[in-house]
């Protein structure tokens, strides 16, 4: 598993690059994690993804109330796909989240919050997908 380079982490914390897409931010560089104009302008939807090991990695998605399930269910044969979903969903912003996912994989179950764009959310909420990837 590849970790984020220390130089990128320093740039994100210094407010030089966007925390989501790694684009350069215009000066003045205010310390702290910031989003670029494009990422900040996108309306995001918060979704909870839970995963567990069941002859593969079974992933299900819940609305923020943690009661309403989205129809999309995914099963992956490779645990690396969980990290890919987390990265696309904006969840890998810090080392703590990455370590929580790694711990969840070690014990066979876990969950994380995703910040999805409207397009990503619609894909999860419209068509029930089941199958192995």
Domain boundaries, the chain: 1-41, 43-126
What gap in Å lies between CA 21 and CA 13, rounded to an integer? 14
End-to-end CA distance of the chain: 19
Find, among 73, 72, 78, the residue nearest to 53 by Cα: 78
What pLDDT, in 10s, does the model give residues 45-56?
889 999 999 989
pTM metric for this prediction: 0.67
127 preceded by a cis bond (ω within 30 of 0)? no
Give every CB contact of residue 87 below 8 A, 6+ residues apart in sequence. none
Mean pLDDT over the full length of the chain: 85
Rg (CA), the chain: 16
- Tens-place pLDDT, residues 83-124: 999 988 888 877 888 899 999 999 999 999 998 888 888 888
pLDDT at 133: 53
């Amino acid at each position: 598993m590849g970790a984020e380079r220390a130089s990128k982490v320093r740039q994100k914390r210094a407010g030089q690059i966007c925390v989501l897409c790694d684009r350069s931010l215009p000066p003045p560089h205010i310390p702290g994690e910031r989003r670029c104009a494009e990422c900040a302008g996108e309306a995001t939807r918060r979704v909870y993804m839970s995963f567990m090991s069941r002859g593969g990695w079974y992933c299900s998605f819940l609305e923020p109330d943690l009661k309403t399930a989205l129809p999309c269910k995914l099963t992956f044969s490779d645990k690396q796909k969980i990290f890919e979903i987390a990265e696309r969903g904006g969840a890998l912003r810090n080392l703590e989240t990455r370590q929580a996912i790694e711990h969840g994989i070690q014990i066979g179950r876990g969950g994380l919050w995703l910040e999805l764009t409207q397009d990503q959310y619609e894909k999860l909420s419209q068509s029930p997908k089941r199958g192995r990837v």
